[in-house]
Amino acid sequence: MLSLHEPTPATWVESVVGHLDELLVDHAHCEKKAAGVAMNLLFAYVDCVPLARAMGEIVTEELDHFRLVLDLLAERGIPFRRLAPAPYGARLQELVRKEEPGRAVDRLIVAGIIEARSCERFALLRDRAPDERLAAFWGGLFESEARHHSTYIRLAGEFAPQAAVAARLAELAAAEAAILAQPHSHPRMHS
């Protein structure tokens, strides 16, 4: 699905479903981080106009998602707070090449893979949500994160030929699956 190398193991939903308050707090942080990633890419590659336009849209959408999760937390009386993140994002960043244009390609592909994984997990959460409100919330985010995935992978093609992007996507998707195969002890969107 969405160029992921491996589906999320069934054990993940079981490990988070009893801790949905903490998972929602982590989800809010993920949306904030997604806005930050898009803003950083906008600053780094502002002279690539297709990228600059797309990042402008994604920053706005991710901040909208962030506010939606904050609203949901407030409705449920769950305090928003800092949380130690899963090592997932940092470990993916370690795989990004240092030299351009490979760096741009990798940053975009990594962002695209994270979107794909979030999207896949929103669908799993939607199907296991304890109430209609949460099911609609996660189901409603599915489509935009799928679109973000496609945008990031398409934009990687601004910096390398499509065949090179496809080959690197396959490598990084395999690495991402290996990172997730080492479970994190706390309930997280990317544990």
Binding site for Fe ion (CB under 5 A): 31, 34, 62, 65, 115, 145, 148
For the bound state, the minimum distance from the C-beta of residue 39 to Fe ion, rounded and expressed in Å, comes to 13
- Tell me the one-letter amino acid at 57: E
* Identity of the residue, 112 or 187, whose beta carbon is nearer to Fe ion in the bound complex: 112
For the bound state, the minimum distance from the C-beta of residue 55 to Fe ion, rounded and expressed in Å, comes to 11
Would you tell me how many other CB atoms lie within 10 Å of the CB of residue 28?
Answer: 23
* Identity of the residue, 36 or 183, whose beta carbon is nearer to Fe ion in the bound complex: 36
Q: Is 181 helix (H, G, I), strand (E, B) or coil?
A: coil
For the bound state, the minimum distance from the C-beta of residue 45 to Fe ion, rounded and expressed in Å, comes to 18
For the bound state, the minimum distance from the C-beta of residue 145 to Fe ion, rounded and expressed in Å, comes to 4
Q: Which of 89, 93, 36, 80 is nearest to 62 (CA)?
A: 36
* Identity of the residue, 101 or 139, whose beta carbon is nearer to Fe ion in the bound complex: 139
* Identity of the residue, 99 or 154, whose beta carbon is nearer to Fe ion in the bound complex: 154
* Identity of the residue, 148 or 190, whose beta carbon is nearer to Fe ion in the bound complex: 148
Quote the DSSP letter at residue 78.
Answer: P
Residue with tokens 């690539």: 48
* Identity of the residue, 117 or 168, whose beta carbon is nearer to Fe ion in the bound complex: 117
> In a 10 Å sphere around its CB, with 0-12 CB exposed, 13-18 middle and 19+ buried, how is residue 72 labelled?
middle
| 3-state SS track over 7-72 | CCCHHHHHHHHHHHHHHHHHHHHHHHHHHHHHHHHHHHCCCCHHHHHHHHHHHHHHHHHHHHHHHH
Q: Which of 160, 172, 183, 122 is nearest to 4 (CA)?
A: 172
For the bound state, the minimum distance from the C-beta of residue 115 to Fe ion, rounded and expressed in Å, comes to 5
For the bound state, the minimum distance from the C-beta of residue 3 to Fe ion, rounded and expressed in Å, comes to 15
